[in-house]
Amino acid sequence: MVTRVDFTGLDRSDFGLAIGQSLVETGFFILENAPISVPEGFANDRVLVDRAYEVSAEFFALPESVKRTYYLPELHGQRGFTPFGQEHAKDSPHGDLKEFWHVGNPTLRENLIPTEVPEFHRVLSQLYGQLEACGQVILGAIAEFLQEPLEAIYQPGGDSILRVIHYPPVSETAPAMSLRAAAHEDINLITLLPTATASGLELLHKGRWMAIDAPPGSLIVDSGDMLQWRTNGRLKSTTHRVVNPDNSRDRRFSMPFFVHPHAGMDLTPLKSCGEPLAKFPPIDAGTYLQQRLAEIGLAKTPG
């Protein structure tokens, strides 16, 4: 079972212990009553998430020719639109059955703004800010669990990404082995996932696939490869996937927020986690990210 953690029901140290143990055991937890502040104009964070899904549905309903005007190959998928089937899981021969939009850190690279949906950029930028702040609270609690300073696992200034994903109805012509999102691990430190519009998310635990169904208004949180690397495998980056529905009519939207550290951050395993033997060699976050993006079809192969 994936642990449910209520942020409001625990003090700081108990919160860190609860989520730290969950990331050690499964690499996932479900966070209820998350520390998300609500921007003016929204009654609560659930209303903000719902509105983000509404404007996203408006964008993905646009003609393909319009959506592709926001696809810039030179950005390697880090901003704007990425067409259906382009991204694939590492070592998978099939493209995932999805299309998506990326909002990133505006101080590092300008975000694209689709004028056809007037509220799209404003709403997603507001959600980006709330999830970014929430992620820093969670990382602070993880650092406390590890008995390390926050800067040991997170250095600000990275290009965290809000990905808005549209999984269209699955075509009968789709390759037999293709999935909405094939089995993979996340690249970043942690991922925050508001409740999706439909089920399908599964994690691999002790050799078995387990469905994750989170209540509306909660966040699914998982640790990614960068955090696993930095903690020498103590905190797990667990394999997960999004399976196809049992019919060809259902569509699905989800909005994972991928928290990234500063590109220059050292991911060398911490001494507190790396002794007596470090499992992973030294590398910085920026180099690691480019290597992984190349593996999933979103960047050129390094070198």
Residues in the chain where the model's pLDDT stays below 70: 176, 299-303
Helix axes 120-146, 12-25, angle to 10 degrees: 90
> pLDDT value at position 55?
98
- How would CATH label the architecture of 4-295? Sandwich (2.60)
| Distance (Å, whole) CA 40 – CA 81 | 28
Sheet holding 201-205, edge to edge: 181-184, 240-242, 201-205, 208-211
| pLDDT recorded at residue 52 | 97
Give 3-state DSSP helix, strand, coil % of the chain, rounded to 5: 30, 20, 50
* Residue 300 pLDDT: 61
Instruction: Report the C-alpha gap between 236 and 24 in whole angstroms.
Output: 6
pLDDT for res 299: 66
pLDDT for the residue 220 = 97
Give the pLDDT score at 42: 87
Instruction: Give the residue among 163, 123, 125 at the shortest CA–CA distance from 254.
Output: 163
Show Cβ contacts of residue 213 under 8 Å, excluding neighbours closer than 6 positions.
199
> What span, in angstroms and rounded, lies between the C-alpha atoms of 34 and 132?
12
Chain segment 125-156, per-residue pLDDT in tens? 999 999 999 999 999 999 999 999 999 999 99
Determine the pLDDT at residue 303: 44
Q: pTM, whole model, 2 decimals? A: 0.94
- In the chain, the N- to C-terminal Cα span, in Å, equals 42
